[in-house]
Amino acid sequence: MKPDVVIISPALADANNGNWQTARRWASFLRDQARVTVARTWDGSRCAALIALHARRSADSIARYAASGGGLGVVLTGTDLYRDIRSDASARRSLELADRLVVLQPAGLEELTERQRAKATVIVQSAAQLHPGRPRRRTFDLLLVAHLRAEKDPLTAARALALLDDPDLRLVHIGATGDRSGGGAADGGDATGEDFVAAAAHDPRIELHGALPHATTRQLIRRGRILLLPSRMEGGANVIIEAIRSGVPVIASRIGGSVGLLGADYPGLFPVGDAAALAELIRRARHEPGFLAGLRQRCTQRSALFDPERERDAVRALAHNLAFADHASSKEQEQQ
């Protein structure tokens, strides 16, 4: 009989964000081997294993399930790794309660204590390979794919564009301008979307496409020239992987989550919040064919890391370990 596995995600299909895409994809990987439920919170029903995305926002489900004695995995998001586990007691408690911790790129391990690393594993996310599309010829499209909130720092992209007087540049935004992301500014919301929309009103080179279905978004990504990811924190952004698996090079802020996916020596990284540095990278990509080709080559070299079969095998191993290992015994040993 297949074991029951529950995946807890603070965001479901209505949010259409990275957490939901991870939950949806992992559920598809496991359905051949388990009966899988994806939910925002654990309803108390019996299951062999629970995998919770987000240590802070899923903290209540994590605490209640831990008391049941079942196998518990906690997947650490960007706000977990780079903010909440330092400042939020419930997030820290989730890390203590978990049988297994999961980070989504290797650099994430550096944010954990030695004791936490001992029960941590790296599962790099994946995307199906798509052939590069045909970009618009009359414009040079920079893609910004994110629901607008402070952690994504879209205003740095808008400020960088404003520093460049090239009329053929386009900053193509895909995502909700209101906060549909499942929480911003520690779930208090923020005005980032309003500010970005205001910037778009002043610069006709910014295109607002709004929130789109995932499949439509992937088709737009494959027709872009460059994906921009100016985020202040990421656990391991799905959209970087989707761009790379579509043959589209990336320019990203130098944060742990992006360095872990692209490599510390990747030439398309810029300091967080530095619009001038981002503008210079955009200028080089636009006018120096060798620089753009170099970015594309580096991304191509990393593409195999994001193959779905690699992620599928890692997720299945995680679920098997959680469902069938003797976690009660291991927890007793950990406490001794």
Q: Kindly state the tokens that stand for 52.
A: 């919770």
Tell me if domain 4-126+307-335 and domain 140-306 are identical in fold. Answer: yes
Within a 13 Å sphere around the CA of 335, how many CA atoms are in the beta-carbon half?
9
Per-residue pLDDT, 190: 74
Q: What pLDDT, on the 0 to 100 scale, is given for residue 125?
A: 97
Architecture of the domain whose range is 4-126+307-335: 3-Layer(aba) Sandwich (3.40)
Name which of 49, 51, 116, 50 is nearest 81 in CA terms.
116
Assign residue 33 a region (left: φ > 0; alpha: ψ between -120 and 50; beta: otherwise). Answer: alpha
Alpha carbons within 13 A on the beta-carbon side of 224? 34
Q: pLDDT per position in the chain (336 positions), as tens? A: 899 999 999 988 777 788 899 999 999 999 999 999 999 999 999 999 999 999 999 999 999 999 999 999 999 999 999 999 999 999 999 999 999 999 999 999 999 999 999 999 999 999 999 999 999 999 999 999 999 999 999 999 999 999 999 999 999 999 998 754 444 444 545 789 999 999 999 999 999 999 999 999 999 999 999 999 999 999 999 999 999 999 999 999 999 999 999 999 999 999 999 999 999 999 999 999 999 999 999 999 999 999 999 999 999 999 999 999 765 545 544 544
* Every domain of the chain and the residues it spans: 4-126+307-335, 140-306
* Helix (H), strand (E) counts: the chain: 15, 12
140-306: CATH homologous superfamily?
A: Glycogen Phosphorylase B; (3.40.50.2000)
User: Going edge to edge, which strands form the sheet with 49-53?
Assistant: 35-39, 4-8, 49-53, 71-75, 100-103, 120-122
Q: Is 229:290 a contact under the CB 8 Å cutoff?
A: no
Rounded CA separation 309/288 (Å): 36
| Chain CA centroid to CA 206, Å | 23
CA dist 94 and 99 (Å) reads: 10
- Which pLDDT score is estimated for 188? 45
Q: What is the DSSP letter of 236?
A: S
Q: Are 280 and 161 in contact (CB under 8 A)?
A: no
Contact 174, 147 (CB under 8 A): no
